[in-house]
Chains A and B, each alone.
Chain A
Amino acid sequence: MIRVGVVAATAIALALPAVLGPYALAIAINVLFFAYLGQAWNIIGGYAGQLSAGHAVFVGVGGYAAAVLAAETGLTPWIGMFVGAGLAGALGGVIGYLGFRFGLRGFYFVLLTVAFAEVGRIVVSNWERVGGAVGLYITFTGDPRRLSFQDDRAWYYIALCLLLLATAVAWAVERRRFGIYLTAIREDEVACEALGVDTLRYKLLAMVLSSFLTGLAGAFYAYRYSSLQPNAVFGIPLSVEIIIRPIVGGAGTLLGPIVGSLILTPLGELSRAVFGQGGWHGAHLVMYGVLLVAVVLFVPQGVVPWLRDLLRRKPA
């Protein structure tokens, strides 16, 4: 039953670009891209329950690495992407090690991640070699070998691949001992330790995996939007965008980030379109805030688990 659903959904997703107009296609790309980011975060934030509110730092590191390498050495971003991801993963390992080794949990860990993201932002803003506060502008070359495309449909398929990749990784994690341990760590680390689980090792693994995947997105971001600005790409607003979809959709579930993105991305676009005209920037952020509050109060597990419960209660 589920398999049929998955195949159907994938088929629809593959066929979509043929029927969507350019504006809708752009939104669809965003849906997929932010679902990907959310899924990558889901591994450490949802399954393992370690709330990282600075995940944008990995996007920034990945993106800048790929872009700078391309500019200075001519390395194709297709490879630069992985270098950036590797760097992001290493940074994730550092942050994770610092945080977990010293027993930072909950709020303190959040603060640590935010601190690192801010440090990243400040450092890059002041680093003239990589563009300083103004950032980098990535010239549009239209050359696929340099990760630049004339046709948006290419971006769509790349985003789709990324999402499928992240979801596959999350699915694999969920089924194996690694994932089961993570969900227990989220509940009670002390009990886990007493049962033989090396919590430090698994949290670290989750963090590195998550940050690596997020770093991959950096290059996508840089080349799709043709610019890298420290405030945008290391800043808290991006971190909020990353975490809000899985949280609303259902942290720690496979479909959560996807459903979350399906709901929030169009809504965000809509509010930008409706309110942005009047110069009311940030209206969509108010909406995010309201949604966040509403979810926490009424649907704390997220939309997907809530729907699952609803369906279960229906008489068979």
Chain B
Amino acid sequence: MSLMAVGLSLIFGVMRVVNFAHGDMMVWGMYLAWLLASRLGIDPYLGFVACAAALFVLGLAIQRGLVDRIVDAPHEMQILLMLGVALILENTALLVFGPEPVRVRSPLAAATWYVGSLYVDVARLLTFAVAIALTAALYAFLFHTDLGRSIRAAADNPYGALVIGTDVRRVYAVAFGIGAACVGAAGALTAPIVPFSPSLGLSASVASFNIVIIGGLGSLLGAFIGGLLVSVAESLGAVFLSPSLKELVSFSLLILILLFRPAGLLGKRAP
């Protein structure tokens, strides 16, 4: 979840475009992983790279073909555009893969370890570890490479970046692509853990918005921490209230944060 949020934060932070289709992109990532696993026998924990790559391409295509045209349009238009893309993605998945939930088995992670008196689900542990690794890699990329720096520059000041010669459109495209790749990876990594179906898409989008807002827009660290925070809060909610109400917790958090501190916990941008 955190990885997904980081990707979203990147897209929003750089382009101020709200990607409603994020969750549905993730679902496609999940299905790709499933395809790889069931047709080619590739374990999701290895195959996530392919998923990330595929979604990078998809993200690039969407950005170049659609989003680029309306970067200057009023915000409502951008929201609607991505909503349309979300609808397309989600329902094509529905058409292609059917509405029944699907599970991916990962031979690498079928085990459960006992640490002291605690169960540790290896699958979740692996996902968590890889997610952290990827986030760290992303950080390194953004802060230590030229392209990464250009992205951050364009995010802070598009005109300034233009002035010093950055190809802003290309930067935007890459940023969108990376955001999509993050989400593809997230999908592949989460696939072994939960059963999924296309309808997961929109609720996943909303959940990731939750996280990004709570953690703070424009701050990747915030997105990551937000993800952790929300997961913990939801789990607590599931334990103390009731499992079906756990989403209530994160939504209530969202509403509270929207009202009192829209910049989020670590946010750099106010609305």
Contacts and interface: CB of A to CB of B under 8 A. Distances in A.
Asked if A and B form a direct contact in the complex, defined as CB atoms under 8 angstroms apart, the reply is yes
A297 B69 contact: yes
Interface residues of A, number: 43
A292 B81 contact: yes
A40 B88 CA distance: 26
B92 A118 contact: no
Interface in B212-271: 213, 242, 244-245, 247-248, 251-252, 254-255, 258-260, 262, 271
B252 A102 contact: no
Contacts of A51: 76, 79-80
Contacts of B84: 288-293, 296
Interface in A32-54: 49, 51, 53
B3 to A, nearest CB: 21
Contacts of A118: 203, 206, 247, 251
B188 interface: no
Given A283-B91, A296-B84, A106 B76 contact: yes
Given A51-B79, A115-B255, A297-B69, A282 B271 contact: no
B99 interface: yes
Contacts of B259: 98, 102
A155 B255 CA distance: 38
Contacts, number: 123
B181 to A, nearest CB: 22
B interface: dominant SS: helix
Interface in B55-81: 66, 69-70, 73, 75-77, 79-81
Interface of B: 18, 66, 69-70, 73, 75-77, 79-81, 83-92, 94-95, 99, 198, 202-203, 206, 209-210, 213, 242, 244-245, 247-248, 251-252, 254-255, 258-260, 262, 271
22 contacts: A51-B79, A106-B75, A107-B271, A108-B213, A111-B209, A115-B210, A115-B254, A118-B251, A119-B248, A126-B244, A240-B83, A282-B95, A282-B99, A282-B198, A286-B92, A286-B95, A290-B84, A290-B88, A291-B84, A292-B83, A292-B84, A292-B87
